[in-house]
Structure 1
């Protein structure tokens, strides 16, 4: 029997690399701090002093998510500084639709072998996402799991906690016939549909990451890695002055599956095809994969990252405010009375 003394590092886990990473990311974490944060990273738990006196009846709202197979593109391009933005966006965009301000965020990064510089780039993206959302990165976990992930691969997950006053929760209960649907532009695919996108673009069409395609302002790989747009500051501005009746974050399931989640029974969201400008990447996917229009609307956001339901009388003012906030938005349809009890989406020509 070999009696040579073994260490954790011999098994593939480098504690010293983990300690170096903590030192590297400390200033990144501090850049996201809010006054309520009571601890620095490195403790067993992040402390956040929740100022409940800001609310009449505070309600905590939470969401968790990951980035999915979009990470495969980060591996292939060896570009890791933006997927953290996607991670934050997928969580904070989910809670802002209920009117909740994101307060703090925690992440989980798991990899086979920890490369501190790469991990710091990933967490730098998470910190940037938190700054865009106005929430604090108060902790996280970096797990080194040799033999579990392929060489150079990792996975990301995270969650956020926010707060909203009970009387200001946006739940779609006031949506009524005649209300307007406003779509806010996405920055591209965001973080959904990448399994299909990769199959179409790289397997069926035989493209590579460096491909330059008509309609795209950058190589295909960078186009696909464009980070998810974070709508928090825009929505907080809107709900301060307008009565937004419902909001849908357009993620997996696209327009057809996400909008009904925020509508009352017996409502139909009538969406007019062609009422917004669809980015070229979606046309490339539809044509390259011979994907039906219905499947496109069920899988991808098709250029709309957020959909709002507003009173018809407020439509023009909301659009004007969105323009002032540097958002591109369109009236994409309206609410009608449905024949079935469950809310649905109808696509109209």
Structure 2
């Protein structure tokens, strides 16, 4: 037994050394850090969009050259949550057709920017603070989760006019879009449930327990073929087989502090940042949807919400006013 454990540990350590970790400082950093939440990668321009909340900016990183451009001068606002005060601003991004949509918590706006020139094209204001922003291609819409009023707002992607309000009985957290089957997925964090919503009818077509417990579910990722949905809890990721009655297949521990995460179709792997334990867990996904942790790479406490861009995972590290980039070592 001891030999088997030592061999497993050795294999894990060797796998971890196959990854290089580097940091990328963002403009406007201070001892307060830079508040980051949802990042978005635009494969057509090889650019990572980083809404940088309290700085009132969106930083756009060219992942090929390492240069950063900035959309500056965006609204910010100080809010109080319990006894904690913080400054909010741009906080979420989603890539559309030659456009990137950015949600701003300061003024409850969603704005569209040209993906190459970064020029602001249009903006709209909704009557609730936006959380996640998601471009839904089958219907050419932008879906905005608004957990404070337990709803999802549906905007026309071309005009940003609000088309519908989907009322829920819980706080939506995270999203995934299955364009092939025209389905939008989100979690109800306070209910420990996951929902499937028909993009055309805006009706809930399936609802099931996320099995995350009291802390509730966080991010979601849909497998490209639409057969499996991966749901993040705060300390693990679960795999569900989709169908008339979604079935929990498997789970893999990640360490504490998980929010959103990403999936590589080519490598059949999930990349999950755990903020509290300061690590990136790489999880293998087999053809039947079962999960197995393969590698853990040390990052930094607070690093989370990894986005895969090419062969590199970029994690938001708000406390350090930086991104942490993890990629396979070339040594």
TM-score, normalising length from structure 1? Answer: 0.25
Greater C-alpha radius of gyration: 1
Which structure has more relative contact order (CA 8 Å, sep 6+)? It is: 1
Structure having the higher strand fraction is 2
Q: What TM-score comes out, normalization by structure 2 length? A: 0.26
